[in-house]
Amino acid sequence: MIGEIDLRVQESEIDELGHVNNARFLEYFEHGRLDWYNRCDPALNNLTGHSLGTVVVNIDINYRRECFCGVRLSVVTKPYTRGRTSYVLHQENYDHEGRCVCDATVTSVIMDMSTRKTTALPESLANQFDPEQNQETS
């Protein structure tokens, strides 16, 4: 399942060079991941009810081009691969002309909130990944 949200770059997100501050792209990607979780099987929205949480453990980000105030962006989130306790999402930011501004691969794990240790992916999350693309990542 692919998620997509749209947003507009705000003046407060611009740095002294006149383009989007690099840290803001992490926020854009976080908004995209939250949207993706909300679009998944409703059971994913109830992870905390099962004492589970998602924890980002790595983000590999590529800044492709400058982005300026007022630009409309689309944040696209796609499942990439999964392991037993971890999964990877690929995310891209496209400007209104369809050019990739920034992309990232985000590795997360499922944590048992009571033991504070990683645990197996819930079936509802594992099912979001194409079985032919699945690779063990942890």
All structural domains of the chain: 3-126 (3.10.129.10)
- Mean pLDDT in residue range 47-60: 86
pLDDT tens digits for range 56-112: 999 999 999 999 999 999 999 999 999 999 999 999 999 999 999 999 999 999 999
CB atoms within 10 A of CB 12: 8
- What does the mean pLDDT of the chain come to? 89
Residue with tokens 């990439």: 80
Supply φ then ψ for residue 38, to 5 degrees. -65, -25
- Mean pLDDT in residue range 122-134: 75
Alpha-carbon distances, residue 136 vs 34, 71, 86, 125 (angstroms): 24, 38, 8, 15
DSSP conformational letter for 119: -
